[in-house]
Amino acid sequence: MKNDDDDHEIRLEIIEVGSEESQVIATRMANDPSGLAATGNEIPRDRGSLRSLIEKALNDGRRLWRVPLGDDYFAAIVGDDPFHQGKERGLFVWLDPRHRGDDLGIQVVAEAVRRLELEGRDRLVARPPRSNYAALRILNALEFTYVGESDEEMDTKLKIERVVFEHRTSGGAKNPARPSSRLWR
């Protein structure tokens, strides 16, 4: 994301989410049914259930960060997928509808990947629905590798076709994710 006054990249601030912020996040997500649907997860749409799932994920050691932009303290949420119950943690990103379409997602995911790599993660997995073109674009820009179709049935009612991408490092933080395209400039 660029500042209109110059050609310098704006460094995003990402702030770790604690359980005390789960109510705000749950409310924002509950008010964005299209954003929740884009995850392809079969998750409840009410605030209370969303809050419970987010708190459970945080208590289980999953990492989530919020991204403030201007006066919007929850412009994006990124990190470990709080709604995926599989054994392997997946990558999650949610952007407030007001901030979609301006390549913010690429920077948000790149910063989350960088943080997770610094913590020692050497493999990150993303399982977006095949129909989520914004997610596919982000993963491509950040040079995630296409692995194949998801062999894990993440939900039984929705029958969402998923693809699997991964990002590997040589032991964390030596090769932090950076987009290869001009989108980063």
**pLDDT at residue 67 in the model:** 94
Per the CB < 8 A criterion, the answer to whether 118 and 107 are in contact is no
Give per-residue pLDDT as tens, 10-64. 578 889 999 999 999 999 999 999 888 888 777 888 999 999 999 999 999 999 9
Torsion angle of the four alpha carbons 46, 137, 12, 119, in this order, in degrees rounded to the nearest 10:
80
Q: Which two tokens stand for residue 57?
A: 């994920």
Query: What pLDDT, on the 0 to 100 scale, is given for residue 149?
Result: 85
Report yes or no on whether pTM surpasses 0.85.
Answer: no
The pLDDT score that the predictor gives to residue 6 is: 45
What radius of gyration do the chain's Cα atoms show?
16
How confident is the model at residue 157, as a pLDDT? 60
Token pair of 92, please?
A: 């999650």
User: What b/e string do you get for 57-66 counting C-beta neighbours within 10 Å, with b at 16 or more?
Assistant: bbeeebbbbb
What average pLDDT does range 115-143 have in this prediction?
90
Of 44, 45, 53, nearest in space to 22 by CA: 53
Residue type for 88, please? E
Instruction: Classify domain 15-184 by CATH architecture.
Output: 3-Layer(aba) Sandwich (3.40)
125: pLDDT strictly greater than 80: yes
Whether the CB-CB separation of 67 and 112 falls below 8 Å is answered with: no
- Mean per-residue pLDDT for 108-131? 88
- Mean pLDDT calculated for residue range 143-171: 76
